[in-house]
């Protein structure tokens, strides 16, 4: 059995995640995901929207994912790969070269990311929408204050 292990945050689950997980699963018979904990994401400087337990449930509901375990540090990967009896360690190509030191334990593969979709882009759009709505609310409040001042 060929076990593939990957890691990620998988916040705001989207089509890029689904396509990546499908391609990862196509590499083997079993796909196991190391899901970054909320605390570890904080260490990495990432502000997650969806809490760990919810992200874990979402991943486990995906037909390409066989199991999920918690990622709490950069250093745990070697032990995880051995525990899971992994044959392949795979990540998105934005990590090229970062995990080559694990090639003595597994085959390391870097897959292309899905073009034109990312969690960062989604968060940027959400922030822009929020900022626009906030400006609208402030504008209405300003007009209401002006009306009240005239009374």
For residue 58, the tally of other CB atoms under 10 A from its CB is: 18
Q: Pick the catalytic residue from 44, 98, 133, 150.
A: 44
Catalytic residue list contains 107: no
150 is catalytic: no
Q: How far is CA 38 from CA 45, 95, 107, 118, 132, in A?
A: 10, 20, 28, 19, 28
Q: Is the dihedral of CA 52, 55, 59, 60 positive or negative?
A: positive
**β-pair type (107-111, 67-71):** unpaired
The two tokens of residue 66 are 């066989």
Q: Give the residue numbers annotated as catalytic, written as ranges.
A: 44, 46
């Amino acid at each position: 059995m060929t076990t593939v292990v990957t890691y990620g945050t998988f916040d705001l689950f989207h089509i890029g995640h689904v396509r990546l997980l499908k391609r990862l699963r196509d590499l083997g018979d079993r796909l196991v995901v190391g899901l970054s904990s909320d605390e570890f994401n904080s260490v990495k400087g990432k502000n997650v929207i969806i809490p760990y337990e919810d992200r874990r449930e979402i991943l486990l509901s995906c037909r390409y994912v066989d199991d999920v375990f918690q990622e709490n540090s950069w250093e745990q990967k070697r032990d995880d790969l051995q525990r899971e009896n992994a044959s392949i360690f795979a990540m998105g190509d934005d990590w090229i070269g970062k995990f080559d030191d694990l090639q003595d334990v597994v085959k390391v593969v870097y897959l292309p990311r899905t073009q034109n979709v990312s969690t960062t882009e989604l968060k940027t759009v959400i922030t822009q929408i929020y900022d626009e709505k906030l400006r609208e609310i402030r504008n209405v409040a300003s007009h209401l204050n002006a009306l009240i001042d005239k009374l």
